[in-house]
A and B are shown apart, each in its own frame.
Chain A
Amino acid sequence: MKYALFLGCKIASQLPAYAASTRAVLGHLGVTLVDLEFNCCGYPARDVSRDAFVVAAARNLALAERAGLDVLTPCACCFGTLRHAIRFIDEDAELRTRVTQALAAEGLAWSGKTEVGQLLQVLARVIGIDALAAAVNAPRTGLRVAAQYGCHSLRPSNVARFDNPMAPTVFETLIGATGATAVDWPRRLDCCGDPLHEANTPLSESMTRAKIADALESGAEVLCTACPHCQLRFDAVQAGTSAPVIRTLIYTQLLGQALGLPAKSLGL
């Protein structure tokens, strides 16, 4: 099993633990990860030009296609952006022409072959829950974990094609595979607040705090993420607060612990 690993800008620069634990866990499970020199997924350009964002995303897909690989990304926002770009290209023939031209200028092309997989999807559907459970040798039995899905993995569901957007189960099943217990919490599908933290800080923090309080109230000991934006936002808001805090863990760290991998390799 072989994928082009799309870390995105955030993980590469600000959350090396996610990169390290992803490599450690997937390496342990026999998945080969190839590093290509991808560019920005295109997300920041959505607010400037739809065309530019789609071209940037398509360039990444073309790079993966040239290497003959599908893309695996641990970032929910990169995942959403790449999937969105595919949708926009599929539904707009003129846009497809402009994208093709822009890619051709540097000798690239995207025929539509590249699949984009979110890390949780690949773990649950490609590697499989049974294989994961079989590989677990240090089960996290008794640990109560709240799953933080990340909006762009789930919605819009016709673009992401990830799981049932109203009642997803993938993340909880994956948490169960580590031996931990997934708790049900009312705000599990809510936005973490990260996209607004610069544009409207008080509103963003209000959203983040509501989630943290809800996870604690629901009896969770760990808030488990699968997106660098969520993880960094929770940590940033909890860093400067006197309110009760919850321990955050990236899913690959939780799984790595259950697989008995050394803490250092998981960035812990």
Chain B
Amino acid sequence: MSPAVFQTALYASLSLCVLGLVWRVSAWFRVRIGPDARAVTPSRRVAAAFRGAASALFSRSLFRVLDAFFLDVLLVRRLYTNEKLRWFGHLLILVGFMLLLLMHALAPVVTAKLFQGYQATLDPYLFLRNVFGVMVLFGVALLLFGRRLRQTCLPQTRLAQTRRPIDAAFVALLAIVLVAGFLLEAQKIASPRAFYRMAEQFIGSTGAEKLKPLRAVWASEFGVAFGDLVQPIDPGLVEEGRKLHGDACAFCHTKPASAFVSFSIARLLAPVADLLDRGRADTWLLYLHVFACFLGLASLPFTRFFHAVANPVSLLVNAVAPKREFSLAGRASRRALALDACVRCGICDTHCSVAPLARYLGNPGLLPSHKLVATGALASGRLLRSGQENAALRAAEGAFLCTDCGRCTSDCPVGLDLEDLWEAGRGDLGAVSLPAPAQWVQARPALAWAEALEPGAAPHTFSDADASFAPLSADRRSFSRCVQCQTCTNVCPVVAHSNDTEHGIDLTPQKVMNLLRLGLRDLTLGSRMVWDCATCYQCQENCPEGIRVADIMCELRALAVRRLGSVRVRREQS
């Protein structure tokens, strides 16, 4: 590969990477999540970040930061406490990749400067390169295997995780880099062409007679696959070749058997070594290896593997101060940072309290990993584009069914303050007319809702489609015994505390029962009585006819969410 091509590609990919990083990092100060975040300008957020960093570096919290750097960032402590297998895989990749980067990719500026006489073809570098490569490949395999295992063993995670093609492509690139690297090394070991090229350069001869003893050494001990060599090799010839080898080759070459992977591949490639030489396999494998690296470098900031940058930052920021101690400017930036630091590992999803609800309702929008993506999409406005109405409603359902149990936050291997993010996200949803059901239903009077339901909707029949969904309210036997005695109303604390018209209820429980008896269920769906019912069960306990008043109220709310929800989308679309 000509240096010009290499350098051009290197600098092009490096500048793309840097530009991408700048863009992504700037988002930590630009993206606004949560109504309170709108009050802080990006410049104030940048200033707060610098102040925080400075105060952390010049105070005792520096020790906490150092502790976090070694244990959380380098050794991935939080993942260790959660999932040992995944921790091991991740550590293999992290260590293997970093060492490959330093020892191999940056050899001219790192290894060669630190260790005199560095040659890529000498031990221990030959051996270590293979070890590191195997570590990365094994780590990737472990993570993929672990993911498959979780999907089959834990149906809790069976709801699709959010994945993007670009992330899968990045993993493929990483695999290409490693496999091409091993193949390239193997091809070079087995290549007679490389042997002759080196012989000409360092011995100055390609004469068959002169090189015969050296060929014997390199064929028997260095794995070169000469197609024209007479087998078995004469041990005397090998002995003879050792001197020349010692004079001309041994400075830069140790036996490649220590490159245990590449050497094994070289053995396999031996029968086709000549063919590969003729096809210039060394050239295109090198291009493949190097350009896959460059492509990976350039695309890194745009994939989820940007977490390699965002994660350490997030972990170090956590170390500076406990979660809730941040200023508003600090919290606003941490929320935006959380969007990038999330690795979509799905550990939160497996422990999520409402995961069974997500599965039963068929709405993955309830799961933390999806909520995080939706929160980002809402902040960037993507969730509000036309065509996204259903996605937005599902995200809202997810946001408001969250029980704030905090397991996602405590189990997050990156230590993200997800609870703060969910709270901010709910605020943002409220600001774009997607508040909790109690809010959007009560924003309009019951009568308006009833009129907005299907035009000409007849009073519900007693065998309606909602029977399986709201069985009590659809079955006349459950309320027909009501004698309108008003006991329910008299014991209802909500009725008792409805002292003003603004916050008081419109119907009483007994009137709700009466509307059901009259077949006017739609009139109750948006009523304040139904939505302000505290489910204290006084009505049900005290009803002389044993009517399950509070249970029916719950059903009517569920029915309202479904029926009024569809009217709401239609209205907003028109």
Chains A and B come from one and the same complex: yes
- Quick one: which of A147-186 are within 8 Å of B by CB? 151-152, 154-157, 165-166
Chain A at the B interface: SS class: helix
Name the one of B356, B468, B504, B548 contacting A39, with C-beta atoms under 8 angstroms: B356
The answer to whether B401 touches A203, judged by C-beta atoms less than 8 angstroms apart, is no
- Is the CB of A70 closer than 8 A to any CB of chain B? no
The answer to whether A49 touches B558, judged by C-beta atoms less than 8 angstroms apart, is yes
- A40-B353, A195-B534 known; A49+B438 contact, CB < 8 A: no
The answer to whether B403 touches A9, judged by C-beta atoms less than 8 angstroms apart, is yes
Name the one of A56, A196, A198 contacting B494, with C-beta atoms under 8 angstroms: A196
- A92-B471, A156-B537 known; A210+B532 contact, CB < 8 A: no
Interface size of B in residues (CB-CB distance below 8 Å): 56
Contact with B along A191-206 (1 / 0, CB 8 A): 1010110111011001
- A49-B361, A155-B540 known; A9+B353 contact, CB < 8 A: yes
The answer to whether A9 touches B404, judged by C-beta atoms less than 8 angstroms apart, is yes
Interface centre among A13, A47, A166, A207 (most CB of B within 10 A): A47
- Is the CB of B499 closer than 8 A to any CB of chain A? yes
From A40, which residue of chain B is reached at the shortest CB distance? Answer: B353
The answer to whether B561 touches A47, judged by C-beta atoms less than 8 angstroms apart, is yes
From B406, which residue of chain A is reached at the shortest CB distance? Answer: A13
From B538, which residue of chain A is reached at the shortest CB distance? Answer: A155
| Chain B neighbourhood of A157, CB < 8 A | 541
The answer to whether A105 touches B536, judged by C-beta atoms less than 8 angstroms apart, is no
- Quick one: which of A79-94 are within 8 Å of B by CB? 92, 94
Name the one of A37, A51, A156 contacting B540, with C-beta atoms under 8 angstroms: A156
Q: Give the distance in Å from the alpha carbon of A94 to the alpha carbon of B531 in the complex.
A: 28
Name the one of A56, A151, A199 contacting B536, with C-beta atoms under 8 angstroms: A151
Q: Give the distance in Å from the alpha carbon of A151 to the alpha carbon of B541 in the complex.
A: 11
The answer to whether B355 touches A155, judged by C-beta atoms less than 8 angstroms apart, is no
- Is the CB of B470 closer than 8 A to any CB of chain A? yes
The answer to whether A56 touches B357, judged by C-beta atoms less than 8 angstroms apart, is yes
A8 CB to nearest chain B CB (Å)? 8
The answer to whether A44 touches B558, judged by C-beta atoms less than 8 angstroms apart, is no
- A13-B406, A37-B351, A203-B497 known; A48+B401 contact, CB < 8 A: yes
Q: Give the distance in Å from the alpha carbon of A93 to the alpha carbon of B241 in the complex.
A: 88
- Is the CB of A69 closer than 8 A to any CB of chain B? no
B433 CB to nearest chain A CB (Å)? 17
From A160, which residue of chain B is reached at the shortest CB distance? Answer: B537
- Is the CB of A215 closer than 8 A to any CB of chain B? no
- Is the CB of B397 closer than 8 A to any CB of chain A? yes
From B154, which residue of chain A is reached at the shortest CB distance? Answer: A106
Interface centre among B436, B437, B534 (most CB of A within 10 A): B534
The answer to whether A151 touches B537, judged by C-beta atoms less than 8 angstroms apart, is yes
- Is the CB of B388 closer than 8 A to any CB of chain A? no
| Chain A neighbourhood of B541, CB < 8 A | 154-157, 165-166
Q: Give the distance in Å from the alpha carbon of A55 to the alpha carbon of B358 in the complex.
A: 11
The answer to whether A47 touches B437, judged by C-beta atoms less than 8 angstroms apart, is yes
Interface centre among B439, B537, B557 (most CB of A within 10 A): B537
The answer to whether B532 touches A48, judged by C-beta atoms less than 8 angstroms apart, is no
- Is the CB of B271 closer than 8 A to any CB of chain A? no
Q: Give the distance in Å from the alpha carbon of A165 to the alpha carbon of B536 in the complex.
A: 12
- Is the CB of A12 closer than 8 A to any CB of chain B? yes
Contact with B along A98-138 (1 / 0, CB 8 A): 00001001100000000000000000000000000000000
Interface centre among A39, A165, A190 (most CB of B within 10 A): A39
| Chain B neighbourhood of A46, CB < 8 A | 535, 554, 557-558
The answer to whether B532 touches A199, judged by C-beta atoms less than 8 angstroms apart, is yes
Interface size of A in residues (CB-CB distance below 8 Å): 48
Name the one of B356, B397, B535, B548 contacting A151, with C-beta atoms under 8 angstroms: B535
| Chain B neighbourhood of A156, CB < 8 A | 537, 540-541, 548, 550
Q: Give the distance in Å from the alpha carbon of A241 to the alpha carbon of B531 in the complex.
A: 27
- A49-B558, A50-B554, A156-B537 known; A40+B499 contact, CB < 8 A: no
| Chain A neighbourhood of B355, CB < 8 A | 39
| Chain B neighbourhood of A105, CB < 8 A | 155, 359
- Is the CB of B349 closer than 8 A to any CB of chain A? no
Contact with B along A20-57 (1 / 0, CB 8 A): 00000000000000000101101011111111110110
Q: Give the distance in Å from the alpha carbon of A149 to the alpha carbon of B554 in the complex.
A: 22
| Chain A neighbourhood of B283, CB < 8 A | none
| Chain A neighbourhood of B113, CB < 8 A | none
- Is the CB of A140 closer than 8 A to any CB of chain B? no
Contact with A along B412-445 (1 / 0, CB 8 A): 0000000100000000000000001111001000
Name the one of A39, A151, A155 contacting B353, with C-beta atoms under 8 angstroms: A39
- A39-B355, A55-B360 known; A48+B561 contact, CB < 8 A: yes
| Chain B neighbourhood of A191, CB < 8 A | 493, 534, 536, 538
Contact with A along B320-350 (1 / 0, CB 8 A): 0000000000000000000000000000000
- A40-B353, A52-B360, A155-B538 known; A106+B156 contact, CB < 8 A: yes
Contact with A along B469-507 (1 / 0, CB 8 A): 111000000000000000000000110011110111000
| Chain A neighbourhood of B405, CB < 8 A | 9-10, 12-13, 40
The answer to whether B357 touches A40, judged by C-beta atoms less than 8 angstroms apart, is yes
The answer to whether A190 touches B493, judged by C-beta atoms less than 8 angstroms apart, is yes
- Is the CB of A59 closer than 8 A to any CB of chain B? yes
Name the one of B406, B469, B535 contacting A195, with C-beta atoms under 8 angstroms: B535
B401 CB to nearest chain A CB (Å)? 5
- Is the CB of B555 closer than 8 A to any CB of chain A? yes
Q: Give the distance in Å from the alpha carbon of A39 to the alpha carbon of B355 in the complex.
A: 8
- Is the CB of B523 closer than 8 A to any CB of chain A? no
7 additional A-B residue pairs with CB within 8 Å, beyond A50-B555, A203-B503: A13-B405, A40-B356, A40-B405, A50-B471, A94-B468, A190-B493, A199-B439
Instruction: Jot down 18 A-B pairs with beta carbons below 8 A, ordered by A.
Output: A12-B405, A39-B357, A40-B354, A44-B401, A45-B401, A46-B554, A46-B557, A47-B557, A49-B361, A50-B471, A55-B356, A94-B468, A102-B360, A199-B436, A199-B439, A199-B532, A200-B503, A207-B493
B interface, CB within 8 angstroms of A = 154-156, 351-357, 359-361, 397, 401, 403-407, 419, 436-439, 442, 468-471, 493-494, 497-500, 502-504, 528, 531-532, 534-538, 540-541, 548, 550, 554-555, 557-558, 561
Nearest 10 interchain pairs by C-beta: A9-B405, A155-B537, A13-B406, A199-B438, A191-B536, A9-B403, A40-B353, A151-B536, A106-B155, A47-B557
